[in-house]
Amino acid sequence: MNYAVFQFINDLSGHLVWLDTIMVIVSKYGLELFAIWLGFVWIHGDDRRRHIDVQSGFSGILALFLNYVIVCKPFGSFTVPSRSG
Domain ranges of the chain: 2-76
| Helix (H), strand (E) at residue 62 | helix 47-72
- In this structure, which amino acid lies at residue 82? S
pLDDT value of position 77: 57
Average pLDDT score over the chain: 84
SS3 82: coil
CB 22 within 8 A of CB 12: no
Length of the chain: 85
Predicted pLDDT at 69: 84
pTM, rounded to two decimals: 0.58
Tell me the average confidence (pLDDT) per consecutive run of 10 residues in the chain, 85 residues long.
82 87 91 90 90 92 88 64 63
